[in-house]
Structure 1
Amino acid sequence: MKNLVVLGSTGSIGTQTLDVVRDNPELFHVSVLVANRSDELLEKQINEFQPELAVLSDEDAAKRLKSRYSGKTKIMGGREAVIEAAVFPEADTVVTSLMGFAGLEPTMAALEARKNIALANKETLVVAGELVMAKAKEMGCAILPVDSEHCALFQCLQGQDRNAVEKLILTASGGPFRGKQASELTEVTKSDVLAHPTWNMGQKITVDSASLVNKGLEVIEAKWLYGVTYDQIQVVVHPQSIVHSMVQYRDGTVMAQLGCTDMRLPIQYALTYPERVESRFPRVDFYE
């Protein structure tokens, strides 16, 4: 059984990580839950998963939770508490799904404490990829990508000679505004931006996907995860979002990973690697 720290447990990736835990209670124990300020949802998660520690980075939210919680889970608040959570002694895998730059410091702390990382926070590698990858190598820790595109690349590279890689091919849906002219985008609303055609994600990543900024971040992430140059990374628009990414080798072979648009699949793979376990996730229907 793996003991997990879930950083960002009340966000999109965090809640789907807990879905995976619900489906596999014999494989995972949640040791620590960390959220920003969603104290009511965190309290529900505490009552269900009974972690040893729960942290809210917003100290006022932590005070609210402490004032009404009487269970066995230790409640802490503040930035230093988030770091303490990331290095929790009994945990062996840290799911990093905090939003933006906030994920860097706890990720580095977890690596220093020799924790494996299930990485769902691409900004960590965007802002400090060289430092993070060097620290993982130094400490002998695995960084297992949770992003669907990078999980796909990871799978397509298994058992292959990395020196034989010609290029990595990241797929992009194109978002809700694919094919639109600039003149058509002058009065789009928030709901238009958040209406992603194929993925159900948190608001920040959905906005970044609509502008394609997210794909730029993924290019940077791929460079650091797989040790390639930017010239070896290509982005192609694939509106159906069935092919999650591909690797082209120097002999011309292209290996692709396919699947439905369900983030629980790459989350589960990152948490169970190198094993594959049965799941109830939807399957690709090639007749359709």
Structure 2
Amino acid sequence: MATLAIGAVVGRATEAIEGVPVAKFASTEMADDPKKIVVLGCTGSIGDTCFKVLENLGNGYEIVGLAGGSKVEKLIARAHCWKPQKICVIDTEARERVQSAVPQVEVVCGAEGLCELATMPEADLVLNGLVGAVGLAPTLAALAQGKTVAMANKEPLVMAGGLILQQAERGGGTVLPLDSEPNAIWQCLKGEDRKSLKRIILTASGGPFWGRNREQMRDITPEQAIEHPTWKMGAKISVDSATLMNKGFEVIEAAWLFGLAVEQVDVVVHRQSVVHALVEFADGSLLAHMGKTDMMLPIQYALTHPERREVPLDNLDLKQVGQLSFAAPDRANFPCLDLCYEAGRSGGTFP
């Protein structure tokens, strides 16, 4: 499926999987030269967590662009707080509201506006927290300009992973995995020989309906579907997680990012959500990434890599966790997972 190893995407290394180019983001001590960031999807759950991370990190970061959707008042509040140079909104009506509230800032709108933000000359990093296919065009535009794109928006990688990798290669851009599972894989693979990677194992919580059969799921409601047992997420990804569709997306995403066939990406149900991903090497050794279920961790790692900084979260207490369990996914009652495998194997426009 994928012909480019992660070295061509995350860090552009050849023999080892090392992550972001050290010359560019080697240190977070950047008070005199702050890292300039564009946040796409600044009013969603990823945006909320991103700003919690930035508040925790303090100096060294500057927001130069913000893009938001229907939550206009929240976008205006973010603009007043972070003082970006440019803002993108969903339509002309929202543009008028935002421009009136923050007249000193340039306000653009729509898909073209997203691409304008993603290619701002000032931007060092574009954080893509958008939902759905709308994130593809700004991702390609940013990579064409040699930008670093931190991707929480997995749908573009699912539907057009090959195009994204090619654009990163041609334009000199870098893709950083921001989603918890691929971010965990990235950390496990740091410093490892690419040739020794045998397979990836993604963990799934099973969602709120794990253990139910189809008959028992006939009367479930959208409100029940968004009640994820371990993660606090937006509505769409919560519903996708409840059906295992999101895990299928992550299979395709991981295959592209790490240069594997979809058959080399396995899924196990892990109800505790403590292990976020595992990697298996040629000698049968397994490395697992474990941590709290909070998106602050992968987002902060992407921003501060290769350094690690303290996060205002309680430490993971394995004694309190007690035990870790793993089980095969229920493919009969959650068919979306196999549909994603089939689409990933077929390639082309199937995903």
TM-score bracket for this pair, using the shorter chain length: over 0.9
Q: 1:12 maps to what in 2? A: 45
Query: Shift in Å at residue 282 of structure 1?
Result: 2.8
Closer, same or farther in 2 for the Cα pair 1:282/1:59, shift >3 Å? farther
Distance in 2 of aligned mates of 1:282 and 1:106: 36
> Which runs of 5 or more structure 1 residues have no equivalent in the other structure?
none
- Partner of residue 78, structure 2: 45
Who is 1:194 aligned against?
226
Equivalences for residues 72-151 of structure 1 within 5 A: 72-151=104-183
8 Å CA contact 2:37–2:125 kept in 1: the answer is yes
Q: Which residue of 2 aligns with 1:157?
A: 189
Residue number in structure 2 paired with 1:58 = 91
In the alignment, the residues of structure 1 paired with residue 155 and residue 316 of structure 2 have an alpha-carbon distance, to the nearest angstrom, of 30
Q: Does 1:3 align with 2:36?
A: yes
Correspondence for 2:236 among 197, 201, 204: 204
1:250 has 2:282 as partner: yes
Distance 2:260 2:102 in 1: 49
CA apart distance, 1:27: 2.4
- Could you tell me which amino acid in structure 1 is paired with residue 106 of structure 2? K
Contact 1:63 1:77 in 2 (8 A): no
Q: Give the match's secondary structure for 1:205.
A: helix
- The amino acid that maps onto 2:97 is R
For residue 287 of structure 1, give the secondary structure of its aligned residue in structure 2.
helix
Question: Secondary structure of 2:318's match?
Answer: coil
Aligned-residue offset at 1:57: 2.4
Match of 1:28 in 2: 61
- Give the letter for the 2:282 counterpart: R
Q: How many residues align?
A: 287
Asked if the contact 1:6–1:97 (Cα under 8 Å) also holds between the matched residues in 2, the reply is yes
For residue 159 of structure 1, give the secondary structure of its aligned residue in structure 2. coil
CA offsets per residue over residues 95-132 of structure 1, 9 Å max, x none?
A: 01111000000000001111101000111111110010
> CA shift at 1:64, angstroms?
1.8
Partner of 1:279: 311
Verify: 1:263 aligned to 2:299, yes or no: no
CA contact (8 A) 1:12 1:201 kept: yes
Q: 1:142 to 1:282 in 2, by over 3 A?
A: farther
Q: Distance in 1 between the 2:293 and 2:91 partners?
A: 32
Provide Cα deviations, 1:134-162, integer angstroms capped at 9, x if missing partner: 11122222211011000010011111111
| Distance in 1 of aligned mates of 2:135 and 2:207 | 25
Could you tell me the TM-score, scaled by structure 1's length? Answer: 0.97
Aligned AA for 1:65?
V
Which piece of structure 1 moves more, 86-95 or 138-147? 138-147
Code of the residue aligned with 1:123 in structure 2: it is E
Per-residue deviation at 1:66? 1.9
Matched-pair contact (CA < 8 Å) for 2:145–2:172: no
Deviation at 1:270, TM superposition (A): 1.0
Query: Bigger relative contact order, structure 1 or 2, given CA contacts below 8 A and separation 6+?
Result: 2
TM-score by length of 2: 0.80
| Counterpart Cα distance in 2 of 1:55 and 1:283 | 37
8 Å contact 2:279–2:286 — kept in the other structure? yes
CA distance in 2, matches of 1:260, 1:4: 25
* Counterpart position of 2:27: none
Measure how far apart 1:277 and its partner are: 1.7
Mapped to 2, the partners of 1:60 and 1:273 lie a distance apart of 39
Query: Which portions of structure 1, spanning 4 or more consecutive aligned residues, are displaced by more than 6 angstroms?
Result: none
Computed over aligned residues only, the root mean square deviation of the Cα atoms, in angstroms, reads 1.1
1:28-64 CA distances to partner (integer Å, 9 max, x unpaired)?
1111000122210000001111111111022211112
- Contact 2:42/2:66 (CA < 8 Å) preserved in 1? yes
Matched residue SS, 2:88: strand
Contact 2:142/2:173 (8 A) holds in 1: no
